[in-house]
Each structure stands twice: as C-alpha cells, then as structure tokens.
Amino acid sequence: MVRPAPVPKSPPLRVAHQFATTFVGYEVGQKGSAEDFTKTATPKLAKELKSHPPKLPSSGQVPKATVVNVVRGKKSGDDLQVSVSLMRTGAASELRLTLGKEKGKGWLVSEVRG
C-alpha cells in the first residue's frame, strides 16, 4: 500500500502538492478538477488544462495516482522548480512543475511537465 505524502508546510510546496492532487484527478476524468486548477495554477495554465482535457482510453478506466513525494528544486529569480513523485499501480512517475510568485496571489504553478 502506498501512503500519500503529507501536505508540506512550505507555501510553494503546499501549492505544488495541491496542484498535483488535483492533476491526478484531472488525468482520470474526475469531474470538476479542471476548474480546481484556478486555485493553484496561473490563469493561462488553468485555461490550457481546461481546454485540453486528457484523452481517456475507450474503457474509460485509468488507475488514479497517489502523490508520494514533493521535492523543492532550483530557484531562479521568481521561479521555483518542484518535482512531484506519483505512484500508480506499482509504477512511479514524475510531474515537474514550475511555480512563480504572483503579486497578491502567492505561489502558482505556471508550467507542468511529466
């Protein structure tokens, strides 16, 4: 059994964890998850994710991943790189996130790769 990662205390890592948790629901077609990106992503990224939902297999069944680790990476100017480890049915994968500090909004994910 894979235990989910605890929510980090650091504000940017907490946002990355929340984004990744939303993302694993989004990639399996969970209703409402695309709208939830407005809380943790830049408006541009949230709009892109909402307008390009993941393509599900014809069976419609994709096992949902678990967020198992959130690790701070390099900081460059106002951008911070974060690596999020996911586990799905015994297979590990990674999301690489770029977060930026937005005036009045705090940390938001501006880019996702993985």
- The CATH number of residue 35's host domain is 3.10.450.540
Does residue 22 fall inside a structural domain?
yes
Q: Is residue 4 part of a domain?
A: no
Measured CA to CA, the distance from residue 2 to residue 89 in angstroms comes to 9
User: pTM of the predicted model, to two decimals?
Assistant: 0.89
The model's pLDDT over 49-63, given as tens digits with 9 standing for 90+, comes to: 999 887 766 676 778
**Is 76 a residue whose pLDDT tops 70?**
yes
Which of the given ranges, 52-56, 89-93, 106-110, has the highest pLDDT on average? Answer: 106-110
Q: Output phi, psi for 3, to 5 deg.
A: -90, 130
Place of tokens 């996130």: 97
Q: Give the count of domains, the chain.
A: 1
Within a domain: residue 99?
Answer: yes
Asked whether residue 3 is domain-assigned, the answer is no
The boundaries of the domain holding residue 43 are 11-113
Residue 38 covered by a domain:
yes
pLDDT at residue 114 greater than cutoff 70 = yes
- In a domain, residue 70? The reply is yes
Q: Averaged over 61-89, what is the pLDDT?
A: 91
Look at the block and give the residue holding tokens 């390009």. Answer: 52
SS3 state at 78: coil
- Residue 112, token pair as written in the block: 């996702």
Question: Phi and psi (nearest 5°) for 19?
Answer: -60, -50
Position 6 in a domain: no
Question: Which residues, including other chains, have CB under 8 Å from residue 49's CB and lie 6 or more apart?
Answer: 26, 34, 37, 41
Instruction: Decide if 25 is inside a domain.
Output: yes
